[in-house]
Structure 1
Amino acid sequence: MSASGAGPAGDQISLDFGFATDRGLRRPLNEDALIAERHLFAVADGMGGHEAGEVASSICVATFARGQEAAGEWLSPDDLQEFMVDADRAIREAAGSRAGTTVSGAALVRQGDAPYWLVFNVGDSRTYLLSEDEFRQVTVDHSEVQEMVDNGEITAEQALTHPRRNVITRALGTGEDSDADFWMLPARPGDRLLVCSDGLTNEVSDSAIRDVVMSRTPPQIAVDDLLQAALRSGGRDNITLVIVDVKLEHDDDQFTDTAPRELIEDGMTKPRPEGSAE
């Protein structure tokens, strides 16, 4: 699928994207949900048992969709923060804190004359970015095992099989911490974005994911290849992913290597440090 719109100075912005969601081979319900519309791409992984997780993730993406419709063609960082707050409130009202959801993704935004990815994350769904031949995980998992890795208690390899690997420390709709992390990254021609639930990353290694993403097959084909890889590896959880390719017709000097100063000063280019005040 594709989307386009008038970019800075009237340039044409084109996004080509594919997506898929599957309940996997072990789960009776699919508690994941996604949005892939215009300039907003996100994956939500619900939790709470029975149908509660499905409700939470559905409310999250529906809130994002309504927010984008009301905001017009382009979103702002303030819009995304408002979506998070609204989704958290709506889930709590509907489920009484008995259900929650992760959400990770990115919005293409404009700051001055330059386009940026505003990446956001709550929980352990992930957003990866391939830019200028560098593939990396942008988001940082909000999970017990990630905290253990950060504290040097276990290795990243041990985290993959740790019995607490599915325990998350932040979520929308439940718990005491629903704050999102944000990153502002330059959007360049040739960028490829991957947003996914842990049903993919728990089954397929980062190196295998990187190989598919860097293969440069069309987004929907790459999505289907990764989905099948997760199913072949066991499909023990719901699997949801979105891949977005960026085609921006700008002069090279339209792109900068850092976010605008006002966003850096607002603390929106990096996650909240561990141990900081809530």
Structure 2
Amino acid sequence: MAQASDWSQEPRLRGNGLMLDSGANAGLTWSFRSDRGLVRESNEDYALVIEADEGRNESLFLVADGLGGHAAGEVASRLAVETAAVAWRSSLDKPTKARLRNAFRMANQAIFDEALSAHQNGMATTLTALAISSDMALVAHVGDSRCYHIRGRKVEQLTTDHSQVGEMMRRGLISPAEAASHPARSVLTRCLGREFAITPDITQRPLLKDDVLLLCSDGLWDLVSPQEMALALQNEDGDPANQVANVVEELNKLAIYRGAPDNVTIMIVRVEREVGSIQLTPSSSRWFKRSS
């Protein structure tokens, strides 16, 4: 449960605060952490998990990175995630892709309207959503918050950065090494809230047991390589319910060690059962903390 915090006494809890969540359900284990990093005054990222229920065996994982400054960014990311969650829950009768598109449409409209009413022209956010059923992952995204599919040591980025630098790389105008330090690397070409209507990119992948999906804001991927993410997963042993939480903490510590100039959000989801045999189970190993 959210608890009040004195910002002057605990600056790490400003904005959307320190968010931690972990659990196991429907043959999946998952965990996430989101905080402000070492430099930013507040956390403008936001994250949420909607577990599968008896109505439909699909789980939804959401990560957003707000833009537009302290107040605008934190409001945009939170509004995007919470609006998308409501839209997702209210569309059980639709196919998964249609549910995702509707969630993004509603989230974009909510931020667009809020920006107009609050006179915050810069209010916007990225949004990456991962929907998992028994044997398939669908990823919808706008912006540059990423989703990786990790199978053993093989890592595939399922999202394409909607940024000026990302576009220049796709056209072969700059190399990955040049992109890493390019002054326009944080300038987005597509995000939620800037335009009246937006269409997310949607990608899907079949899943196998032990597959991992990792969602993150640029506060992680700008400092930690995909290969390092996969290696952290390879190095963990022990109880699967705790393993993904341990990897999240390890990757967060690595980002902090490297300076963490931006907010850092990391979400890891792992398939624990053979596909096709995933059944709904009572949520276990679940804990949640959000301070603001």
TM-score computed with the length of structure 2 as normaliser? 0.77
- The aligned counterpart of 1:267 is none
- The aligned counterpart of 2:10 is none
**Residue 178 (structure 1) aligned with residue 198 (structure 2):** yes
C-alpha distance in 2 between matches for 1:73 and 1:239? 35
Q: Cα offset for 1:133?
A: 4.6
1:152-167 counterparts in 2 under 5 A?
152-167=172-187
- The aligned counterpart of 1:187 is 207
Structure 1 gaps of 5+ residues are: 5-12, 255-278
Specify which of 243, 247, 266 is matched with residue 241 of structure 1: 266
C-alpha distance in 2 between matches for 1:177 and 1:198? 24
- The aligned counterpart of 1:36 is 49
Specify which of 221, 226, 240 is matched with residue 246 of structure 2: 221
Specify which of 15, 35, 39 is matched with residue 26 of structure 1: 39
CA separation of 1:77/1:228 partners in 2, compared to 1, >3 Å: closer, same or farther?
A: same
Q: Cα offset for 1:212?
A: 1.3
C-alpha distance in 2 between matches for 1:184 and 1:120? 9
TM-score computed with the length of structure 1 as normaliser? 0.80
1:102-121 counterparts in 2 under 5 A?
102-109=126-133, 115-121=135-141
- The aligned counterpart of 1:140 is 160
CA separation of 1:205/1:132 partners in 2, compared to 1, >3 Å: closer, same or farther?
A: closer
Specify which of 77, 80, 92 is matched with residue 60 of structure 1: 80
Q: Cα offset for 1:76?
A: 1.5
Equivalent pairs counted in the alignment come to 241
Which letter maps to 2:32? F
C-alpha distance in 2 between matches for 1:106 and 1:235? 25
Runs of 4+ in 1 over 4 A off after TM superposition: 72-75
Deviates more, 1:95-104 or 1:117-126: 95-104
- Residue pair 2:153, 2:230 contacting (<8 A) in 1 also: no
Q: Cα offset for 1:176?
A: 7.0
Q: Cα offset for 1:202?
A: 1.1
C-alpha distance in 1 between matches for 2:236 and 2:93? 28
1:248 aligned counterpart, secondary structure: coil
Tell me how large the CA RMSD over aligned residues is.
2.2
Q: Cα offset for 1:106?
A: 0.8
- Residue pair 1:130, 1:214 contacting (<8 A) in 2 also: no
CA separation of 1:175/1:250 partners in 2, compared to 1, >3 Å: closer, same or farther?
A: closer
Q: Cα offset for 1:166?
A: 0.5
C-alpha distance in 1 between matches for 2:61 and 2:97? 14
